[in-house]
Structure 1
Amino acid sequence: MGLAAIAMLGATAPAGAVGPPPGSEYGISSFFTEVKNAAGEDETRASAHPHSARAFFAFNTYDPGPGVSPSNTLAPQRPVEDPRSLSMRLPAGFVGNPQAAGTCPLDTVGAQTNSAAPTFCPEDSFVGWVRVRGLTDLNTPVVNVAPEDGYPAEFGFSEASLTFIVYPELRSDGDYGVNMNVPAINNNFLKSVDTTFCSYGVEMDFIPNNSNFRCREKGEPGAFEKPFLTNSTTNCPAEAPVTVLETDSWTNPGVFKTAQAVSPLITSCDTLEFEPSVDIAPTTTAPDAPSGLDVDMSFPQEDNDEGQAPPALKKAVVTLPEGMTINPSAANGLQACSDAQLKLKSKQPVECPEASKVGTVTAKSPLMEEEISGGVYIRSQNSSDPQSGEMFRLALVLENEKRGISVRLPGQVRADASTGRLVTTFDNNPELPVSSIELDLKSGPRAPLATPPTCGTKTIDIELSSWGGQTVDRTSEFDVDCTAGLGGFSPTFSAGTTDPTGGAFSPFALHIAKPDRDTAMNGVSLEMPTGLLAKIKGNLNTQVGSVRTFAGPGGQPFMLPGTVTLEGAYGDAPYSLRVVVPAKAGPFDLGEVVVRQKVYVDPFTAEVSVVSDPLPTIVKGVPVRLQRVDVLVDKPGFMINPTSCAQKQVDGVLGSAAGQSAPVSARFQASDCADLKFKPRLGLRLTGPRQTRTGKHPGVRAEVRQTGIGEAGIRRARVVLPPSLALDPDNAQALCEFEDGTKPDLEKHCPEGSIVGRARAKTPLLERDLVGNVYFVKNIRIDPDTGNEIRTLPMIVAALRGEIAVNLVGKSSTTKNGRLVNTFAGVPDAPIAKFNLNIKGGQNGILAVTGSRRGDINLCAKPKKHIARTVFRGQNGKVRARGLRVTTPCRAKSTTKTKAKGGR
């Protein structure tokens, strides 16, 4: 080790002296270092203990001219400027161990005077000697001083009444090498300094003003039991160690001059022994649970047979087992420490918020009697790539205020984007001897990690590399308990409107949760009760609700709020919901999580079903471990209750990431439906002025009107036509087969010739009317006794199309006395303002004018006698039955009166 140990001699410039000549510059004229073994050869072996280490440097001088006392042979040369401070930057990893030597109290160092008597300090505190040339030539021992608070060590020497202290410090610029600092020199005429340090102590032959010194041999009487010096292994053997000397003067303070001394390349790296031991375990053995982590690393400090100390740890890579991942619950209250607060490469106080601390760390070093302890901190996010090592960052802060030690080690955590497996790396650790490191990540419900969700033996892989180039692999195993119910899937479910009043608008709430240790949820599909609908009109592309997701295992999952937006077609569904959850968990921004749901409408019942895209199980390398989802669709005037108060239920199927499925249901029943009015109005009109006689085929136009919202919907409509009308299926151009006509998309399967009319429905729930063709479809029924299919009268199917598809089915039958009946059963429970049904007449008309027992008839003969009977049954059970005159297409008869001829 080279040391800058400076003797300071108070003196006054002799009379007649002159200043330095013009152009003279303060600086270092000579600087070299030597690291030797006991044979006097260069000690280049990595981590070896040199016999001695020497540093020599001299300043630029000048001849002050006449007037200098000729009796002092040293006086003729003076430094160009008087040195103010010195700092020697030793190669990283080259260290001295103050614990190897005894200590001398500072006041004792100050009391000694080497020029007149032996030192007062004990000889076992001697770690070297120094020769200082100024106005005099002085040799004096360098002693290991009991350090003052704020310093890891101090080395001092004394001359006359002055005491000089060299202050070692760990560099904070990244490599944590040692600087030897002399901060203030009050000495004129200082020209050179020659310092030697010894591994096993110093023997002094006392001579006033010029003692002789030698380094002791290992094992000789009086020698240190432990070596004081240890060689570097940095960049072994690629780069030569460099020592840098820096100094400024009193004349130009802050203007530093530097010089370098290059040592020979480090050798014998391949003979180093690096055999650390590691034990790592979670703080709990429960599966799928919040967990801390206990890490214990030990580094033997015994020399090998070659006399080389073990190299220091350079890099540690810890790979946790699959399934042991970041715990989302840890985000509760978590903050991050910014780079500005951490102050890497600085000795300024760390200002990390306490809420960014997730653990503690303690290190022991043979260089210090005390432990160095501190915290593990979450650093601020620098990337959105979980595998970059810049998204999840750590820092170890190790400090010992009493010894002025502050070490800040940045760490990177790489999370596999698809599995969440974690690889943590701390690289370029200080090249300083460390005997043990103990790191404990906090436990509890907000612990930073989560244990695997599967039981059994798990393995942690550890790769440790030394500054000497050695790499060792270690493993650490732990068991995860196989608890009852692990891997099951038994979610809970509730759903319904908050105000069940029939036909009224109401928020809709959905709650899904799973027990701890159940398999992760990733699928949701719902079937809403018939009549529970939403008003699309005016609400497309608007936020209709909110969502709260609870992620992470344990009793304190992290809540993330989000929005629910109604959107248009998605895939094969006419509508969709977009759930957006900004995944901002504590200090981490994982971006937006978007999950879309397809919204289907059954074409025969108008029942709404919702099928979600898979729920994310991992986001940016963080397994979600979703515990609960709360959805509230609460936009005013959006969700509307059924007008039927029959007991129903919200059904669903929840899926797990393991492929399990769980049917769920929640009871649903509207209330106060009887309070809803039910007054549908029907109009019937025949068309075709030339189609009014027996055998002709008039058309029919029917129109039903209702209030819409606020009125009970129609559940069943039955119309008994006048006896003058009958069904004539044989006159139809074509009929659609039963199998095709009962398909949801019958328009793609039925022949064009089976189209017999058009229909239109207006509802306040949709932006546009539903419009479509009416198809004439064969119908069958099943004989209850034989199970055989029996053909019946054809039916009509109105294929209403628009934003959604609805198929209204009207079945034909006859009364006992032969009157034609058309019945729409199972009408969807949806508010309707108007429904129009137009059946074509004429050449391929399906309605025919009948005759009577007296023969052919003409509908226009008695146009007001054609009465239909209607029965409407409401979704709320109310019935409205009426007789209805069917309007005919007859021309009005002339009513002109003529006077009788003649008179009285």
Structure 2
Amino acid sequence: MTATSRRSRPLACVLATLCLVLATALIGAAAAHAAEPFGFVDGSVGVSTSTTQAGGHPDLNVRFALTSVMARHPIIDALEMPRPLETARDVVVDLPPGIVGNPGAIPRCAAADFFASSCPPESQVGVIRTNVFFIPGNEPNAVFNVVPSHGAPAEFAFIKLGLPIHMLVSVRDGDHGLRTTIANLPTQGAMSSADMTLWGVPGDPSHDAERQTSLTGEVPVRPFMTNAATCDGPTRAEISLETYDNPGRTIATTAPMAQLTGCEQQRFAATGSARPDTTKAGAPAGWTVELDVPQDQTVDGLATPPVKDVVVRLPRGTVVSPSASDGLRTCPAAAMKLATSEVPDCPAASKIGSVQIDTPLLARPMTGSVFLLDQTPQRLLRMVLVAEGAGVRLKLPGEIDLDPVSGQVTATFANNPQLPFNHLTVALKGGPRAPLANPRACGPASTSTALTPWGGGRPAVSTDTVEIACDGAPSGFAPAFSAGSASTQAGAASAFSLTFARTDGDDLLKAIDVTMPAGLMPRLASTPLCGEAQAAAGSCGEASRIGSAQTSAGPGSLPFELPGRVYVTGPYKGAPYGLSIVVPAKAGPFDLGTVVVRAAVFVDLRTAALRIASDPLPTILQGIPLQIRSVRVAIDKPGFMLNPTSCAPRTVGAAIAAAGGAVAQRSSRYQVGGCRSLAYTPKLAVRVGARGQTRAGRRTSLVATLTQPAAQAANRSVRLALPKVLNARLDVVERACTQAAYDAGTCGAAARIGSATAVTPLLPKSLSGPAYFVRNPARRLPDIVVQLRGDVAIDLVGRVVITRDLRLTTTFDRIPDVPLSRFQLTLPASSGPVGVVRDLCTKAARLARARQGLRAQNGRLLRRADRLTIAGCAKQKK
């Protein structure tokens, strides 16, 4: 075009506009007489490329014609022209996914230059021919690559009737194909047809004849249009429009396109790498994953296929960190608006990283954030990369798979948009709340990345290795342990707690076996035991709850805290009682279910001291290694735990096992005070005799009954020396069983000398059982072993001696520090352990006294010499 024609354009535009305005009034009247409905003319719609080579750089042609009638030109009587039945307002062309244009490869025309009709010739990307009513001829108009003015990634424009026509290019929702929109077409002339060609290589000299302006210099020869990379089958483009005549009505048609070929000729090379922001073993770390896809942007080559699938498998040992859960939130799927390009309405706490995408289609990188999506029944972890730039917003959903045994992390992003990128960076945040933690083992750690292209090519697999360093961190297993009662008052009810913990450098915790100090006892009389089924399921009732648990999990300085509850249960694994420790594993927004850790509660046969042996602690839940740092168990039900009544120094012992097999022995000093303030007023009554059992030489029954008020110091030893009117029957002594037989439970009836019953306020039922004579190699006379059985099993051992003054004396000197309301030992005459030396009904026998020595756990000693209660004597007359 010459300079003169450029100056005359404004005048021509005015004249043409006036003519069109005059003619517009005729359009509405003539439309009423149309013989057929308005739409696209059959056979007129076409979208085609000049080559079907996948990844090639074709010229793209789009054409269509609208239903029209022949109408006489209002000025030139002899001229008839097609006039569309309706006036198009908006035209939208949707290309199949994968067909892209690279506006950055072609110079852009500034807005001022475009309106001045002085765009540089190298910015022309094609031509368009449009038929407009009242404008004779169908001369081509140049299509320019202009600077986008409406936030679109690309914009093309041409001038018709002296008016600028803009074509905005966008990425549509769903399949991310390109959409070109011509909005608000001029009303001054109704367009009846259009035929546009965008050049695959605008700088190719073959297009010189169609350029609006003669070239004054060298035009860069770079590819502009690119075919899709897939050869799966014929595809379709869609053209739709709306008119001024019927707003809101959309008329659409599809245009089949030829199947692409030559997919096997495309070349795809890509690599991936992953690096933590710290290489410290086991530490929370911000991992950065980078993908490089070199792009072939040469004219003679084929474009690099876009990446379809990405699979990144982080090093074994790199795991999801529970420490990240505190304060973390997820983005609901509805708020993410995944199927649209709308701005997601996600909470800030669901953002776990950043993303940057460098694409040859845009001048600047797309940037955005990584959001954690909400949990579903099928998938625990999901994330979405949201990146935007130049009017394009992409949402790339990914699924995270966790190995159920090792916790190894694999991220998969499948069916990505058919849009090329040359570099993608995903940086997950670091610090104590980082979502990932490094391997705990030192040495090389390798990431595997597989990138699969569109078009059926083979995946590009690469590995990247980073060296994980211990950095002088301690290794091995040296856990900490502490325990104690909240109150140190002897005999008082007090909460009791214990804590065991490890550092990041320690091996993982596996189990704990705790030996409680003697005398620290639970009060079970008023606490119902949880049934086995409920205990295993973690569904015990609140009445069985005796305390709470607090577990911290995760590496680093800010592990996540998980509260739990402790219930007392019935027999478990051979122990008379058990614990069900229930921890709802709800880590931040993630519900990993309910963890139930069982423990067996044993009672020592001689001291009644408790031993609590836990089952193995969980190490991984749904692929997330817990990395338990500490466990605190508090038995804090009011009035449940009772302190010892002995103020002797004791310990709480613990054997803490590691996952690697090591066992650490730990202890915590334990001692109560205020023992001297405890009262001690037990009563011991001895009754002998019965009808026919009072004469000398006879065997007689003996019943010793000990009673004691509540809230006193417990008994430590009881010594009873019978008066000389009584002695031991040696034939019964000879029937004593051996210790081995007793331990094996095979003591016969001959060794049984009586029975006993004990009542304690700690248990809902009394304990009772037989008493045996059991030989003790260290002593001449056998011991009396009282076998108390019930909810628990206790053996009381009495040492039997005959003193120098010939008194039969029995001493129970190792009585457990347990409160007793009543204890009764019955030695019947039938078993014959006690014999009568002097007639029990005589005055001398009635005046005989049994010497008693009762010592409390707090050291208090009571000495008494009480008369026997003798039964079986005839009543004396007054």
TM-score (norm 2): 0.91
1:596 corresponds, among 592, 598, 605, to 598
Q: CA deviation at 1:334?
A: 1.1
Match among 806, 830, 843 for residue 818 of structure 2? 830
C-alpha separation between the residues in 2 aligned to 1:296 and 1:516? 29
Q: Is the 8 A contact 1:420 1:621 kept in 2?
A: yes
Answer with 16-25 or 473-482: which moved more: 16-25
Matched residue, 1:181: 181
1:751-779 deviation digits (Å, cap 9, x = unpaired)? 24433322111111111111222223223
Aligned to 1:155: 156
Partner of 1:494: 482
In the alignment, the residues of structure 1 paired with residue 62 and residue 835 of structure 2 have an alpha-carbon distance, to the nearest angstrom, of 123
Give the superposition deviation at 1:16: 9.9
Q: Measure, in 2, the Cα distance between the counterparts of 1:433 and 1:466.
A: 10
How far 1:25 moved relative to its partner?
Answer: 2.7
| Alignment match of 2:766 (pick from 769, 793, 808) | 769
Q: Deviations over 1:743-802 (max 9, x none)?
A: 3xx6x4322443332211111111111122222322321xxxxxxxxx622222222122
Matched, 1:312 2:306: yes
1:110 corresponds to which of 91, 98, 115: 115
**Matched-pair contact (CA < 8 Å) for 1:247–1:257:** yes
Question: C-alpha distance in 2, partners of 1:23/1:886?
Answer: 132
Q: How does 1:86-485 map to 2 (within 5 A)?
A: 86-112=91-117, 120-135=118-133, 136=135, 137-173=138-174, 175-187=175-187, 188-201=189-202, 213=210, 222-233=218-229, 236-302=230-296, 307-383=301-377, 390-400=379-389, 403-470=390-457, 471-484=459-472
Residue matched to 2:8: none
Match of 1:78 among 53, 62, 83: 83
- Unaligned residue ranges in structure 2 (runs of 5+): 1-15, 529-542
Q: Does 1:871 align with 2:822?
A: no
**1 CA distance for matches of 2:404 and 2:432?**
24
Q: Is the 8 A contact 1:699 1:840 kept in 2?
A: yes
2:55 alignment counterpart: 47
Local SS of the residue matching 2:777: strand
Cα distance in 2, alignment partners of residues 713 and 662 from structure 1: 34
- State the alpha-carbon separation in 1 of the partners of residues 315 and 609 from structure 2: 47
Are 2:853 and 2:862, in contact at CA under 8 Å, matched by a contact in 1?
yes
Residue aligned with 2:369, SS: strand
Pairing partner for 2:566 from 564, 567, 573: 564
C-alpha distance in 2 between matches for 1:845 and 1:255: 113
Preserved CA contact (<8 Å) 2:357 2:365: yes
Change (3 A) 1:560 1:640: same
| Superimposed CA distance per residue, residues 703-743 of structure 1 (whole angstroms, 9 cap, x where no aligned partner) | 101113x21111111100111222225247954321132x3
Contact 2:509 2:657 in 1 (8 A): yes
Deviation, structure 1 residue 20? 4.3
Q: 1:481 to 1:756 in 2, by over 3 A?
A: same
Which residue of the partner structure matches residue 504 of structure 1? 492
**Structure 1 pair 79–687 and aligned structure 2 pair: CA distance change class (3 A):** farther
Instruction: Letter of the 2:484 partner, please give it.
Output: G
Residues in 1 aligned to 2:576 and 2:330: alpha-carbon distance in whole angstroms: 44
- 3-state SS, counterpart of residue 41 of structure 2: strand
Query: 2:26 is matched with which residue?
Result: 14
In structure 1, the residue corresponding to 2:340 is in which secondary structure?
A: coil
Between the aligned partners of 1:154 and 1:399, the Cα distance in structure 2 is 17
Counterpart for residue 891 of structure 1: 873
3-state SS in 1 of match to 2:275: strand
SS at match of 2:363: coil
Q: Is the 8 A contact 1:110 1:161 kept in 2?
A: no
AA aligned to 1:54 is N
Q: After superposition, give the CA deviation of every residue in 1:278-331 in whole Å (9 maximum; x if it has no partner).
A: 221111111010001122221111258962111111111011122110011111
Question: Which secondary structure does the structure 1 equivalent of 2:846 belong to?
Answer: helix
DSSP 3-state at the match of 1:164? strand
Query: Do the aligned residues in 2 keep the contact of 1:863 with 1:890 (CA within 8 Å)?
Result: no
Maintained 8 Å contact 2:341/2:395 = no
Q: 1:243, 1:15 → 2: CA distance?
A: 31
Hey, what's the Cα distance between the residues in 1 that align with 2:336 and 2:293? 28
Larger helix fraction of residues: 2
Closer/same/farther in 2, CA of residues 864 and 21 from structure 1, 3 Å limit = farther
Counterpart of 1:854? none
Change (3 A) 1:420 1:337: same
CA distance in 1, matches of 2:29, 2:712: 117
Q: Distance in 1 between matches of 2:163 and 2:86?
A: 21
Q: Secondary structure at the match of 1:807?
A: strand
Partner Cα separation in structure 1 for residue 783 and residue 734 of structure 2: 15
Q: Tell me, in whole angstroms, the C-alpha distance in 2 between the residues paired with 1:215 and 1:812.
A: 126
Return the alpha-carbon distance in structure 2 between the equivalents of residues 637 and 132 of structure 1: 94
Alpha-carbon contact 2:841-2:873 (below 8 Å) kept: no
Q: Which amino acid aligns with 1:183?
A: A
Structure 1 pair 696/252, CA: closer, same or farther in 2 (3 Å)?
A: farther
Matches within 5 A, 1:790-869: 792-842=780-830, 844-850=831-837, 857-860=839-842, 862-869=844-851
482 and 220 in structure 1: CA distance in 2 versus 1, 3 angstrom threshold:
farther
Once residues 676 and 578 of structure 2 are traced to their aligned partners in structure 1, the CA distance between those partners, rounded to angstroms, is 33
Alpha-carbon contact 2:554-2:627 (below 8 Å) kept: yes
Q: Distance in 2 between matches of 1:667 and 1:885?
A: 45
CA-based RMSD = 2.6
Do 1:529 and 1:668's aligned partners in 2 also have CA atoms closer than 8 Å? yes
Distance in 1 between residues matched to 2:647 and 2:88, nearest whole Å: 99
Looking at structure 2, the residues matched to 760 and 220 of structure 1 have their Cα atoms a distance apart, in angstroms, of: 118
When structure 1 is superposed on structure 2, of 527-536 and 159-168 the one drifting more is: 159-168
Give the percent of matched residue pairs that are identical in Structure 1 and Structure 2: 35
* Alpha-carbon distance in structure 2 between the residues aligned to 1:285 and 1:556: 18
Give the direction of change, closer, same or farther, for the CA distance of 1:202–1:231 in structure 2 (3 Å limit). same
The 2-side partners of 1:506 and 1:468 are apart by: 72
Cα separation, partners in 2 of 1:725 and 1:145, compared to 1, 3 Å: same
2:725/2:845 contact within 8 Å kept = no
**Is 1:718 aligned to 2:711, yes or no?**
no
Counterpart in the other structure of 1:899: none
CA contact (8 A) 1:15 1:68 kept: no
